[in-house]
Amino acid sequence: MPYRTDIAYLYDGSFEGLLCCVYESYYQKELPSMIFNYEEAQETLFPVKEIVTDRTAAKKVEYSIGQSISKGALRLVRLCYFSHMAEREVTILNFLRMGYKIGPRVTNMLAHDTVRAITKTAQNVASESHFYKEFLRFSEYNGVLVAIIEPKNFVLPMTSPHFCDRFPSEQFLIYDKTHKVAFVYQNGEKRLIPLEGFELPEADAEEKQYRALWKRFYNTIAIEGRSNPKLRMGNMPKRYWAHMTEFME
């Protein structure tokens, strides 16, 4: 029996929800043309099927990806899920269907369009996560470290463990302006909190002094005779500058 393709899936936007879409697709023999979540609900002519997130089904799918495809494939899928790629859900579903058929070697098929899209997107998310390990800047307010980031992808799940490992005794907050989510680390506890808006408060004298010191260091360390703005821009794209201390006012 051919798979039914004239259908769209609506899920709750969580990773588990997406895995349940995969589950549904297999057990109902359906190949949805669109998968979207409540937040980005779109007009479609196809009948929309609501997928209820079921933790057991999600666990099953997650386990099977690791077993039948590979741990690497699971990593790719997870990274893609956090990306801002258009139609990422359908691409992930197609990739997983290929993977179940071909097995662990699917991640080597770099010239295949779906695999290429997945690897490229995962690479993009991974590198943006790394950029934020580098270019994120904390400011201190009464002993609490606060930073604002504006990433294209949802990088907090990849970036925050790095800072938790680095500053185990600190309290800090990283606010993702794009996705309107704050990551809070306090006394070893980690939380993601939806937060509509957030601005950095006025800095106190000590914080201002460290900012001035850092700016001075930044400007002094450059060698005038070697000035190379293009190289700097290549290494540190300008969209990161907005929230970096060295470029503040």
Partner 1 sequence: MDILEKLTILTDAAKYDVACTSSGVDRKGAPGSIGNAAACGICHSFSADGRCIALLKVLMSNACVYDCSYCVNRKSNDVPRATFEPRELAELMIQFYRRNYIEGLFLSSAVVRNPDYTCEQMIEVLSLIRNTYRFRGYIHVKAIPGADDKLLTALGLLADRMSVNLELPSHDSLKLLAPDKSRESILVPMGRIKTGIHENRTDLAKYRNTPRFVPAGQSTQMIVGATPETDYQIINLSAALYKKYELKRVFYSAYMPVMTGRNLPSLDTKPQLLREHRLYQADWLLRFYQFDATELLDEKNPNFNPLIDPKCNWALNHYDFFPVEVNTAPYETLLRVPGLGVIGAKKIIRARRMGSLDFPDLKKMGVVLKRAQYFITCRGKTALGLPSNPEAVLRGLLSEQGAALAQPPMEQFSLFDHTDSTKEDLVKCLTGQI
Which residues bind to partner 1, rule: CB under 8 A?
105, 108-111, 113, 116, 120, 130, 133-140, 145, 147, 163, 165-170, 210, 212-214, 216-232, 234-236, 244-246
Q: Which is nearer to partner 1, 29 or 216 (CB)?
A: 216
As a dihedral over the C-alpha atoms of residue 139, residue 142, residue 144, residue 147, rounded to 10 degrees, the angle is: -20
- Least distance to partner 1, CB of residue 203, Å: 11
Distance in Å, CB of 85 to partner 1, minimum: 16
Query: How many whole angstroms separate alpha carbon 149 and alpha carbon 178?
Result: 8
Smallest distance from the beta carbon of 29 to partner 1, in angstroms? 27
Residue with Cβ nearer partner 1 (5 or 123): 123
CB of 109 to partner 1, least distance (A): 5
What is the residue type of 111? Answer: A
Would you say 52 or 222 has its CB closer to partner 1? 222
Looking at beta carbons only, is 44 or 209 nearer to partner 1?
Answer: 209
The residue assigned the tokens 């859900």 is 89
Residue 201, Cα to own-chain centre: how many angstroms? 26
End-to-end CA distance of the chain: 64
Beta carbon of residue 43, minimum distance to partner 1 (angstroms, whole number): 33
**Closest by CA position to 88, among listed 18, 27, 140:** 18
Q: Name the residue nearer to partner 1 (CB basis): 168 or 194.
A: 168
CB of 38 to partner 1, least distance (A): 35
Number of Cα atoms under 13 Å in the Cβ half of residue 137: 17
Q: Are 9 and 41 in contact (CB under 8 A)?
A: no
**Helices in the chain by DSSP H: which ranges?**
15-27, 55-64, 71-81, 88-102, 113-135, 156-166, 205-221, 229-235
What Rg value do the Cα atoms of the chain yield, rounded? 22
Measured from the CB atom, the residue of 64 and 129 that comes closer to partner 1 is: 129
- What's the closest the beta carbon of residue 10 comes to partner 1, in angstroms? 32
**CB 200 within 8 Å of CB 139:** yes
Closer Cβ to partner 1, 48 or 203, answer by number: 203
